[in-house]
Structure 1
Amino acid sequence: MSGALATRAVFFITGTAIGLWAALVPFAQQRTGAEANQLGALLLCLGAGSLVSMSGSGPLIGRFGCRAVILAATLLYCLLLPVLATADELWLLGLALFVFGMGIGLTDVAMNVQGAIVEQMSGKPLMSGFHCLWSIGGIAGSAGGALLFRFGLSTLTSTVLAIIITALVLLLVSPGLLRFGNHESSAAEKSAGRFRPGFTLILLALMTMLSFMAEGAVIDWSGIFMTTERGLDVRNAGWSFAVFSIAMSVLRLTGDAVVKRLGRKTVLVGGGLLAMAGYLLVVLAPDWLLSLGGFALIGIGAANIVPILVTLAGQEKGMPVNMSVAVVTTLGYFGVLGGPALLGWVAHYTNLYTAFTLLSAGFAMIAVAALKLRYPTN
């Protein structure tokens, strides 16, 4: 079993778990009777759990290796799926989401470390393809869950089936998961000084945070923008996120070939500029159809930004790959957690036009910063 195939499988099953939870959310709300504000607090539990586990993931991966951490973390989030499918008390669901988030967050960092090392070992771009499988997994989890529910299967039965499939996949691909978690090759690399993130790594982390923030804004605010500012019927509000997701998935599917042909610098700068133009089109377009095109353009531009940033973090010489990737993904995750809330605050005191314009400026900053980065040849 090749390391690349094993990595793709882990990205896929982790995306599937998140997608399945998305399909379970309405059932959880019905069972607990949660109001909108309570549901929002519950969803923050998932993010908080992920952030907690991500913050300590680097040393764990360095000590135990990618395989052990991925297997343990996947087991953790799988064990919580039946609880998410049946919990009828808010406190129990919140606790389950926190622990589920810990498993997801730890797997997220470990699979990105695995991906960065496998990519370096192969000598060719692979990271966009890995992240594409996460997106496809998310679609499979949410759509598959919806189909199972439609056919009359209970939420508990559906999650048990998901656990069985996940276990079978891991059993097949575990030989391809790495027993190690970094590329330490000398005593110097183990010295304390090697664990201090330098300016470049912090810049990569901030760029990742900006990109995640802008992507999260599409999830949380695009539908509201289309209904309140473009007059789209609420039943069609989901199309903005749909076109964004489709565009991103397609571009990630072809991203490795594009990176190989054009180079990481060109793709990173070009992606930032395209996503910037996409947000400007959303804001300036006179009708909803052009705004939809803007959201598609954001997906095209943003698709390969984070995969490239993770690759560059893994190639930084100032820290072992398990630590550098953990720094970038953890700080980047702050954009997922805090970005939508920050944009809500901006929109409250100004409007969504201002909020989206700021996101456009964020992508412009990513493009400018990309010009200053170093790009290893492999």
Structure 2
Amino acid sequence: MPAAITAWSRHALYLLFMLPGLTLATWVTRTPALRDGLQASTEQMGMILFGFSTGAMLGILSAGRMITRHGANRMLRLGLLGLSGGLCVLAASSDLNSAWCAFAGLLVFGLGMGWADIAANIEGAAVERAIGAPIMTTLHGFFSLGTLVGALIGMAMTAVEVPLDMHLLALAGLSAAATLVLIGQAPRASEQPDAQQASGAEDVHWAALIKDRRLLLICLVVLAMALAEGAANDWLPLLMIDGHGFAQTTGTLIYMVFTLGMTLGRFAGAPVIRRFGRTFTLRASALIGTFSLALVVFCDVQWVAAAAVVLWGIGASLGFPLAISAAGESGTGSDQRVRLAATAGYLAFLVGPPLLGFIGEHFGLRLAMLPVLTLVAIAYVLASSLQERNGLQAETAASKQAG
């Protein structure tokens, strides 16, 4: 292991991956309170959530150039501080009773998420190459662990009726303080000359990447699995409350169960990949996601729908990190491939909230999950197609790396 990548620096990176999940779950668990405070309809909530999607897409599209100029470490710090800033603006929207302020808060939050996500994934991929061991699913496991912790805190804050603004401001301060403490200890493997040469960013033009058929299939899988994860983050508490008749605290608890499924799935990912390979694991994730979403949409039994949420979390857990790793290893220009795949995922975050909100307003939130169900089923077919068209060579390489 290179001297610059110590055990503590890796742990610092793990903890930095937790912070976006913690802050994300902080406002997701309080969306019912935000909705009630603003007296917003389902369609209006979809447009408010569109602020997050818009900010995230702006962050994704601007991240590459800014990381090239300033480095992944600095952009990760800026992105994480942007998350805290977004929570502060969102807290102000609660006090001002302003939907536009809520939109602005989520826009800032999404911008920070886009910067932090791209920078963290590029740094994680560089650390993987430097130490010769797969850590991407573990890194994303810490993100999910952050959402689990945030959901637990959110459930407690909802149960004891802590005001929304106090909750958001407290978590914003905690996240900002942790960012400033940890960022100086994080690895900077992506900024080393040998890492930049290994990424091959200067050798590949974007036009060539877009013509890469395998990479495009991977991007479609990323889009579908990101939508499965993002739909839960945006709508799951309201889906359980409005669609299945659960109380507000119970709806938040069920979202916590989803984050638990995500966390368990990602931390268990490495041994599963090592035993069965990347393609099989990705297909199994999409299949589990399809089955669980079908139960949530079509089953009227409350406990079955709640139990299916666990499977939803497990099914969505590995799709995004597996596809991101596959994109980075699909050819030269690793950093650009990671950015392109992540951009495809954020397209789901961009289109998802208003689309699902519009469908939910007119047909109910349960039927609004049908597009998500359809795309995850397509991801299963695409994952199978990747294996069929590319043989077992890439699969074997992924399995050896996981080992």
Shorter-chain TM-score bucket reads: 0.7 to 0.9
SS at match of 1:325: helix
**Could you tell me which residue of structure 1 aligns to residue 222 of structure 2?**
208
Q: Which piece of structure 1 moves more, 187-196 or 99-108? A: 187-196
Matched, 1:35 2:39: yes
Q: Which piece of structure 1 moves more, 242-251 or 125-134? A: 242-251
Matched, 1:246 2:255: no
**Could you tell me which residue of structure 1 aligns to residue 377 of structure 2?**
364
Q: 1:180 to 1:147 in 2, by over 3 A?
A: farther
Q: Which piece of structure 1 moves more, 241-250 or 230-239? A: 230-239
Q: How far did residue 62 of structure 1 move?
A: 3.5
Q: Which of 126, 129, 146 is equivalent to 1:120?
A: 129
Counterpart code for 2:251? A
Q: How far did residue 241 of structure 1 move?
A: 2.8
Q: How far did residue 130 of structure 1 move?
A: 0.9
Q: 1:146 to 1:346 in 2, by over 3 A?
A: closer
Q: Which piece of structure 1 moves more, 126-135 or 233-242? A: 233-242
Matched residues, number: 374
TM-score, normalised via structure 2 length: 0.77
Counterpart code for 1:307? P
Q: How far did residue 206 of structure 1 move?
A: 1.5
> CA-to-partner distance for each residue in 1:237-294, whole Å, 9 max, x for gaps?
3454333222121111211222122211111111111222222333454622222232
**Could you tell me which residue of structure 1 aligns to residue 115 of structure 2?**
106
Q: Note if contact 2:85-2:172 (Cα within 8 Å) is conserved in structure 1.
A: no
Matches of 2:146 and 2:324 in 1, distance apart?
20
**Could you tell me which residue of structure 2 aligns to residue 321 of structure 1?**
334
* Structure 1 residues 1-378: aligned runs within 5 Å: 1-2=6-7, 4-22=10-28, 34-37=38-41, 40-79=46-85, 81-86=87-92, 88-89=95-96, 90=98, 94-141=103-150, 143-144=152-153, 154=166, 156=169, 159-171=172-184, 173-175=185-187, 178-180=190-192, 183-185=196-198, 189-190=202-203, 192=205, 196-197=209-210, 198-222=212-236, 226=240, 230=244, 232=246, 236-285=250-299, 287-318=301-332, 320-346=333-359, 355-373=368-386, 374-375=394-395, 376-377=397-398, 378=401
Identity level (%): 26
Which 5+ residue runs of structure 2 have no aligned equivalent? 1-5, 387-393
Matches of 2:116 and 2:245 in 1, distance apart?
40
Q: Note if contact 2:234-2:353 (Cα within 8 Å) is conserved in structure 1.
A: yes
**Could you tell me which residue of structure 1 aligns to residue 390 of structure 2?**
none
Counterpart code for 1:215? E
Q: Note if contact 1:59-1:322 (Cα within 8 Å) is conserved in structure 2.
A: no
Matches of 1:249 and 1:305 in 2, distance apart?
13
Q: 1:166 to 1:365 in 2, by over 3 A?
A: same
Q: How far did residue 307 of structure 1 move?
A: 0.9
Which 5+ residue runs of structure 1 have no aligned equivalent? none
Q: Note if contact 2:16-2:179 (Cα within 8 Å) is conserved in structure 1.
A: no
Q: How far did residue 63 of structure 1 move?
A: 4.0
Q: How far did residue 332 of structure 1 move?
A: 0.8
Q: Which piece of structure 1 moves more, 84-93 or 332-341? A: 84-93
Q: How far did residue 301 of structure 1 move?
A: 1.8
Matches of 1:111 and 1:187 in 2, distance apart?
18
Q: Which piece of structure 1 moves more, 214-223 or 307-316? A: 214-223
Q: Note if contact 2:60-2:118 (Cα within 8 Å) is conserved in structure 1.
A: yes
Q: Which piece of structure 1 moves more, 20-29 or 292-301? A: 20-29
Matches of 1:224 and 1:92 in 2, distance apart?
21
**Could you tell me which residue of structure 1 aligns to residue 3 of structure 2?**
none
